[in-house]
Amino acid sequence: MQIETELKKAIQNEQLSLFYQPKVDLHTERIIGMEALLRWEHPDLGSISPVEFIPVAEETGQIVSIGEWVLLQACQQNKKWQEQGLPSLCVSVNVSVLQFQHGQFLETVQIAIKESQLDPKFLELEITESIMQNFKESNEILKGLRQLGIKTSVDDFGTGYSSLTVLQKLPIDTIKIDKSFVDELEKEGHNFMVKTIIDLSHNLELNVVAEGIETDRQMKILKDNSCMIGQGYLFSKPVAADELEVLLREEVSR
C-alpha cells in the first residue's frame, strides 16, 4: 500500500529515472542500440526494485501514465544524443500488456515521437508474449506501429505461451531470448532451446537478441549458433544517461 501511495507522486517528485543497457553486435562488440530501463529512487525507502513496483503499477493501472512518461523520456534522450553528434541508434522501451491494450496507445506513441522529434526508426517497443492471447486487437496495434515506422520485439521469448502460428502472422521485427536460457549455456555448454529460437528467428526473417550475457563462454556459444546481437553484464550493466553518453563517445573514437 505504501508503494502504491508513493508511486502516485514519483513522477511529480522527480524520483523516477531511466537507465540504459547497451545492445551489442556480438562479432564487433560495438554498441548498436540500447534498452531503456526504469529506476525509482525514493528519499526514504531508497532504491526500489522494478520487480517490486512494476506489478503494483500494473495492478493499480498507474503503469499507463508511467509508461507514457518513460516513452517520452527515452525518445527525448535519444534525440538529444543524436543532436550532440553521437551515433544514431535505436532505443528500446518496454511496454506492459495494460499499456498495449489501452485504447489510446498508438496515439500516445505518436505524441512521444512528435514531441521529441525523434525519427520513428530509432524507436523499438518491447512487448511480451501474452499480447498474442488477443491476436486480432494486437495485430491491429502492431500494424499501426509498423505504419509509423516503429520496430517491435517480443521480450523474454520462450517463457510464455507463444503460438508459432500466431507468431508468424504478427508484424514484429525481433525476438529476444530470455536470460534463463542464456544462463543454461554456462552450465551445459549448449541449449537446444537457444539454438531452436535462433533458427526459428532466422526462418521467420526476424532479428534475434540474447539477454543476460555474462561470460565469454555464453557469448561464444551464441555466436557459434548465429546469434548476432546481445546484451548483458559482460558488456555493460544498465547505466545512467550520462554514463551511457561516455560509452557512446568511446564508440565514436574507436
31 in helix, strand or coil?
strand
pLDDT tens digit sequence for 39-72: 999 998 899 999 999 999 999 999 999 999 999 9
- At 232, give phi and psi (nearest 5°): 155, 175
Q: Which amino acid makes up residue 20?
A: Y
pTM for the structure as a whole? 0.93
Q: Which of 47-51, 80-84, 87-91 has the lowest mean pLDDT?
A: 47-51
Is there a contact between 208 and 202 (Cβ–Cβ < 8 Å)? yes
Per CATH, the number for 2-155+162-178 is 3.20.20.450
pLDDT tens digit sequence for 94-127: 998 889 888 889 999 999 999 999 999 999 999 9
- Per DSSP, 159 falls in state S
pLDDT tens digit sequence for 122-179: 999 999 877 777 778 888 999 999 999 999 999 878 766 666 777 788 899 999 998 9
pLDDT score of 186: 78
Q: Where are the domains of the chain?
A: 2-155+162-178
pLDDT band at 223 (very low <50, low <70, confident <90, very high): very high
In angstroms, the CA 244 to CA 238 distance is 9
pLDDT score of 115: 97
**CB-CB neighbours of 50 under 10 Å:** 13
Place of cell 512494476: 54
Q: Is the pLDDT of residue 77 over 70?
A: yes
In angstroms, the CA 108 to CA 88 distance is 23
Q: How far is CA 107 from CA 104, 130, 202, 218, in A?
A: 5, 22, 32, 40
